[in-house]
Chains A and B, each alone.
Chain A
Amino acid sequence: MAREEILHRVRTALGRTGAQAPPPPPPVRLRIPEIGLEARVASFTTRLEALAGRVCRAALAQDAGALVSRELGNRVAVASNAPYLQECGITGLPNVSSGVASRDRLRELCASADVGITSADYVLADTGTLVLLSSPQEARLVSLLPPAHIAVVPSDRILTGLDQLFALLPDPAVSTSSMVLITGPSRTADIEQVLVRGVHGPGQILVVLTG
């Protein structure tokens, strides 16, 4: 068996035996600065805008709903099953499909929609990042297949950065098979280092922060 042979080679080379537990690894290094909410919002906005993403504020959930409705115009959208989108009145908009639980149906909708609308579990201030955990509420393809992505997120979900995220979720695999960090629109610079947005994922991203 390849497994036994490779592990045997590794142990022989390192002078270890199968039963030996290693000494503890270097201590975890997580530094979480104290940064107020407004400063986190400001940092998130600056970072995402630097990547050609857009950030809007809305005082209340229903304001966010109205904002998204205006933003959509007559574009066709698919929304995730995040309860917060319902609270904002987004799932009830006429050109928005939502509440899909079948994989095949969701795939069809996402492949033809102009916009995918999600919430986010967290937002990272110091990099302009959305954090989405796959769940019955958030499918993977909604933020991936349509050419534009709108995320509506309560501003109290803004963390300072990666360190705080991994302090809150020491092992993301406990709760999900997929956690994705989205930092700006999809992009490539593979031809002559020329930046092109929207190569496979959404080329446009709008984050609506509420509260």
Chain B
Amino acid sequence: MSSQLQRHIHDTLADPRLQQAIYTATGRLKDARLAVIADNVLPDYQELRTQANLLKQHAIDHLDYYLEEFQRNVEAHGGTVTYCRDGPEVADFVLSLAKQRGAGLIVKSKSMTTEEIDLNERLGHHGLESVETDLGEYILQLAHERPYHIVAPALHKTRYDVAQILTEKLHAPHDIVIENQTALARSVLRQKFLAADIGISGANFLVADSGAIVLVENEGNARLTTSAPKIHIAVAGIEKVIPRAQDLAVFLKLLARSATGQLLSVYTSFLSGPRRADEIDGPDEFHVVLLDNGRTRLLPNPERRQSLYCIRCGACLNTCPVYRKIGGHSFPWVYSGPIGAIITPQFLGAGHEPGLPFASSLCGACAEVCPVKIDIPKVLLDLRSEVASVKTGRLEKLAFRVFAWLARHPRAYAIGGRLAASLARSGDGAWIRRVPALLNIGPIRAWLSQRDLPPPPPRSFRQLWRQR
């Protein structure tokens, strides 16, 4: 684990306000999800998950076919499709289009894919202003921070933080009323929408048989981004393609429920091509950018391929005992939580953050809530074995050798158990931190400093078994 990752984790654990914010927000989202997948609300929830999994598996296993079908149909409706290998290529595409059309202002709706490639910064370096319009993303853009959570990007910000940001950056009067803060953002951004030349969105789904993109949102900023400016550019990962529009009946039922506990998000937009000749409004140009950026790297391995099924609902973050303690910024990249732990090392390549697949208790809660049934713990284990095959600490190797020896020698194991039990006399759970000073050094100390362990019962299982 890198020292930067460790520092973020320690800072988050030591901040009671932040701990409370993460715990409350993820807890609410978690409960909201449970309420709308209940048997009496959605009796076929498990069937839908299975169908979603099969559809994603089919689409990814034949990805080239569906991408080509998608492109044909986008073009048939008058749109364009451009493939990009990485962030710089996406920025080049946008910049050259902006230059050709004389565009100066861009409005953006929320997109993890554009966060992934730092699109705003790249465009900003070339003098092109790109404004985030989702309320949470707008606040983070003003504060120069990256999203804390896939669905609730500004989860870590309080109304007091927001008041300070708005005062500093917009010179607005200090106001801690959330309704007023929202109204201020609305009025500032409304002017941007009406003045913008280009709207950039992401895409929740790419529909192959219609040549359409689907956007799911609650605020209306994605609708404005794709309706008001004359040019619409959608940036999406290549893995977002699904075979048919009719499959949306499955995915849409799962996405909003898993993300925010809504039956449907407020706005679901199904967009295909620029406005038709007789339509009154809508963009004159419709461009889809298909991004690789490391995605093809994880296709060869059938086990890891399932990481690409993700529909970015964030349910695994809300349920993850690790995310709920260490928060989003402890993760080294824009994708956090269990899904971040599996896609970050795969997208960015080995060696980026070898500690990441180990930042999990493998409890399996993420797999249980995943609407497309990604077996995240299995992928984590696979990634761990890759890291371990390259480099394992000497200390760790020694520890496992000692354990292996103990497990093969029942007498020694029993003595060890009694020794451990005798250390636990005080019985307050903190006993594990009172290990002899000789051992309490280096990585052991770091490991022990954040942990409690309930004391063992007075008699061991083996003793009870003998007396049975």
Q: Which residues of A contact B (CB under 8 A)?
A: 1-3, 5-7, 9-14, 16, 18, 20-22, 25-26, 28-31, 47, 81, 100-103, 106-107, 111, 126-129, 134-136, 139-141, 144-145, 162-163, 165-167, 169-173, 176-194, 196, 198-202
A185: B residues at CB distance < 8 A: 266
A1, A2, A18, A26: which contacts B64 (Cβ < 8 A)?
A18
B47: A residues at CB distance < 8 A: 29
B21, B25, B68, B300: which contacts A13 (Cβ < 8 A)?
B300
Task: Give the contact stretch, choosing among B1-9, B279-287, B329-337, B429-437.
Answer: B279-287
In the bound complex, do residue B282 and residue A178 qualify as a contact, i.e. CB atoms below 8 Å apart?
Answer: yes
Report the bound CA distance from A100 to B63 in whole Å.
Answer: 43
Report the bound CA distance from A7 to B292 in whole Å.
Answer: 10
Report the bound CA distance from A165 to B246 in whole Å.
Answer: 9
B190, B228, B266, B299: which contacts A182 (Cβ < 8 A)?
B266
In the bound complex, do residue A184 and residue B273 qualify as a contact, i.e. CB atoms below 8 Å apart?
Answer: no
B158: A residues at CB distance < 8 A: 191-192
In the bound complex, do residue B224 and residue A144 qualify as a contact, i.e. CB atoms below 8 Å apart?
Answer: yes
A177: B residues at CB distance < 8 A: 77, 271-276, 279, 282, 286
In the bound complex, do residue B250 and residue A29 qualify as a contact, i.e. CB atoms below 8 Å apart?
Answer: yes
In the bound complex, do residue A192 and residue B159 qualify as a contact, i.e. CB atoms below 8 Å apart?
Answer: yes
In the bound complex, do residue B135 and residue A178 qualify as a contact, i.e. CB atoms below 8 Å apart?
Answer: no
In the bound complex, do residue A193 and residue B250 qualify as a contact, i.e. CB atoms below 8 Å apart?
Answer: no
A183: B residues at CB distance < 8 A: 262-268
A14: B residues at CB distance < 8 A: 61-64, 299
In the bound complex, do residue B219 and residue A199 qualify as a contact, i.e. CB atoms below 8 Å apart?
Answer: yes
In the assembled complex, how far is the CB of residue A160 from the closest CB belonging to chain B, in whole angstroms? 11
In the bound complex, do residue A194 and residue B178 qualify as a contact, i.e. CB atoms below 8 Å apart?
Answer: yes
B24 close to A (CB within 8 Å): yes
B185 close to A (CB within 8 Å): yes
Interface string of B30-70 (1 = CB under 8 A from A): 00000000000000100110010011001101111101100
B249 close to A (CB within 8 Å): yes
- Could you tell me the dominant secondary structure of chain A's interface residues? loop
In the assembled complex, how far is the CB of residue A111 from the closest CB belonging to chain B, in whole angstroms? 6
Report the bound CA distance from A198 to B182 in whole Å.
Answer: 9
A81, A140, A180, A188: which contacts B268 (Cβ < 8 A)?
A180
In the bound complex, do residue B244 and residue A28 qualify as a contact, i.e. CB atoms below 8 Å apart?
Answer: yes
A190: B residues at CB distance < 8 A: 134-136, 139, 152-154
Q: Which residues of B contact A (CB under 8 A)?
A: 21, 24-25, 28, 44, 47-48, 51, 54-55, 58-59, 61-65, 67-68, 73, 77, 82-85, 89, 133-136, 139, 152-155, 157-159, 162, 178-179, 181-182, 185-186, 189-190, 193-194, 207, 209-212, 218-221, 223-224, 226-228, 238, 243-250, 252-253, 260, 262-276, 278-282, 286, 290, 292, 296, 299-300
B300: A residues at CB distance < 8 A: 12-13
Report the bound CA distance from A172 to B224 in whole Å.
Answer: 20
In the bound complex, do residue A136 and residue B278 qualify as a contact, i.e. CB atoms below 8 Å apart?
Answer: yes
Please give me the residue from chain A that is nearest to B110 by CB atom: A190
Please give me the residue from chain A that is nearest to B66 by CB atom: A22
In the bound complex, do residue A193 and residue B266 qualify as a contact, i.e. CB atoms below 8 Å apart?
Answer: no
A12: B residues at CB distance < 8 A: 300
Further contacts, 8 of them, CB under 8 A, given A31-B44, A136-B278? A2-B84, A6-B296, A7-B83, A14-B299, A140-B223, A173-B210, A177-B279, A192-B158
In the assembled complex, how far is the CB of residue B55 from the closest CB belonging to chain A, in whole angstroms? 6
Task: Give me 16 A-to-B residue pairs in the complex whose CB atoms sit less than 8 angstroms apart, sorted by A's number.
Answer: A7-B83, A25-B58, A29-B250, A134-B281, A141-B227, A162-B252, A166-B246, A172-B270, A173-B245, A178-B227, A191-B157, A191-B182, A192-B21, A196-B179, A196-B182, A200-B219
Report the bound CA distance from A107 to B63 in whole Å.
Answer: 40
In the assembled complex, how far is the CB of residue B204 from the closest CB belonging to chain A, in whole angstroms? 13
B55, B190, B270: which contacts A180 (Cβ < 8 A)?
B270
In the bound complex, do residue B267 and residue A26 qualify as a contact, i.e. CB atoms below 8 Å apart?
Answer: no
Report the bound CA distance from A47 to B262 in whole Å.
Answer: 11
In the bound complex, do residue B269 and residue A11 qualify as a contact, i.e. CB atoms below 8 Å apart?
Answer: no
In the bound complex, do residue A126 and residue B263 qualify as a contact, i.e. CB atoms below 8 Å apart?
Answer: yes
A29: B residues at CB distance < 8 A: 47-48, 51, 249-250
Please give me the residue from chain B that is nearest to A187 by CB atom: B218
Please give me the residue from chain A that is nearest to B152 by CB atom: A190
Please give me the residue from chain B that is nearest to A164 by CB atom: B249
In the bound complex, do residue A171 and residue B54 qualify as a contact, i.e. CB atoms below 8 Å apart?
Answer: no
Please give me the residue from chain A that is nearest to B53 by CB atom: A26
B264: A residues at CB distance < 8 A: 127, 129, 162, 181, 183
Report the bound CA distance from A162 to B44 in whole Å.
Answer: 14
Q: Would you list the 9 A-B pairs with minimal beta carbon distance, nearest first?
A: A201-B220, A13-B299, A190-B136, A173-B272, A22-B62, A200-B220, A173-B210, A3-B83, A9-B296
In the assembled complex, how far is the CB of residue A23 from the closest CB belonging to chain B, in whole angstroms? 8
B135: A residues at CB distance < 8 A: 188, 190-191, 199
In the bound complex, do residue B248 and residue A162 qualify as a contact, i.e. CB atoms below 8 Å apart?
Answer: yes
Report the bound CA distance from A22 to B65 in whole Å.
Answer: 7
Report the bound CA distance from A162 to B238 in whole Å.
Answer: 26
Output the residue of B47, B269, B278, B279 with the most chain A CB within 10 A: B279
In the bound complex, do residue A191 and residue B162 qualify as a contact, i.e. CB atoms below 8 Å apart?
Answer: yes
In the assembled complex, how far is the CB of residue A21 from the closest CB belonging to chain B, in whole angstroms? 7
In the bound complex, do residue B178 and residue A103 qualify as a contact, i.e. CB atoms below 8 Å apart?
Answer: no
Report the bound CA distance from A11 to B300 in whole Å.
Answer: 10
In the assembled complex, how far is the CB of residue B182 from the closest CB belonging to chain A, in whole angstroms? 5
In the assembled complex, how far is the CB of residue B159 from the closest CB belonging to chain A, in whole angstroms? 6
A176: B residues at CB distance < 8 A: 272, 276, 279
